[in-house]
Amino acid sequence: MQIRILVLFILFLSACKKYEDPEPFTDPRIKNKYCNIPSAINYNWDFPGIEDNTTCIFPAQIYQGTYLFHDTVIDDLGAFVSKDSFYISFLQIDSTKLTVTGFCGLNPYMATANRFFKFTLDSLLGNGQQYCNQQDTIAGGGSKASIQDTTTIQIVYQLQTDTGVVLHKGTAFKN
């Protein structure tokens, strides 16, 4: 009995062979390329495909440039105060960080963009970043409608001053 079990066990072991992974298969019909970096706007668009990170579009990239901002000022009670237009510039620092100039002369304001077409001015002092003088702060952000929207940004920001809060809303058009 023990010999039969031993013979069966030896036959079983000799019949088994180590598993080997099959050769990878690439479907020749798949030719589209896709971005595989999670912080990119177009992360995994066109998947399945061929990974090609040169196709990636990063959040800060879509804001790069100079825009004419048509600004409407509203007081803290919601009443219209004034309208104005001025140029603002966005400069890409890395894939998500950028600087915005033009709100207060050439003072740069740090901002962070995300892959959902939105950016926010970074908050450095609790209520925002220091504005033109040391008593005032600026906070807010903006957005684009889509990746195809290459010319406009909707911007909303508030200035907190020693006399109250003033809301600024408007649209910036790329030059």
Determine the Cα–Cα distance for residues 50 and 54; give it in Å rounded to an integer: 11
Residue 137: both structure tokens together:
């702060």
pTM over 0.85: no
- According to the model, what pLDDT value does residue 88 have? 96
Residue 26: both structure tokens together:
């690439």
Cα torsion 123, 140, 154, 94 to 10°: value is 0
* CATH number 2.60.40.1930 is the correct assignment for the domain at 59-174: no
Closest CA to 59 of 153, 127, 135, 138: 153
pLDDT digits (tens, 9 = 90+) for 49-81: 889 999 999 999 999 999 999 999 998 788 899
pLDDT digits (tens, 9 = 90+) for 150-171: 899 999 999 888 888 899 999 9
Domain boundaries, the chain: 27-57, 59-174
DSSP letter, residue 112 = E
